[in-house]
Amino acid sequence: MTRKSAIEDVALDLFASEGFEAASLGKIAEAVGIRKPSIYAHFRSKEDLFLHVFKQALRSKKRMMLRHLLENRDRPFEETFLSLAKRLMDDNESDAQTRFLLRMSYFPPSSLHDQVMELMNPFFMQAERLLTSLLERPLHQTRLQTGNAQEAALAYITVLEGVLAEAIYTTRDKATRRLEAVFPIYCRGVLINK
Map the footprint of its own copies across residues 74-93, applying CB under 8 A.
none
- Provide, rounded to whole angstroms, the least separation between the CB of residue 5 and DNA: 11
Decide which of its own copies, DNA, none touches 178; Cβ closer than 5 to 8 Å per partner kind: its own copies
- The residue (of 26 and 189) whose beta carbon lies closer to DNA is 26
Long-range contacts of 152-161 (CB under 8 A, 24+ apart): 152/190, 153/128, 154/128, 155/186, 155/189, 155/190, 156/81, 156/131, 156/186, 157/124, 157/127, 157/128, 157/131, 159/183, 159/186, 160/84, 160/85, 160/88
21 binds its own copies (CB under 8 A): yes
**Stretch near DNA under the rule CB under 7 A, chosen from 37-45, 64-72, 122-130, 164-172:** 37-45
Decide which of its own copies, DNA, none touches 74; Cβ closer than 5 to 8 Å per partner kind: none
Map the footprint of DNA across residues 5-34, applying CB under 7 A.
23-27, 29, 34
Contacting residue, 4, 129, 174, 188, with DNA by CB under 7 A = 4
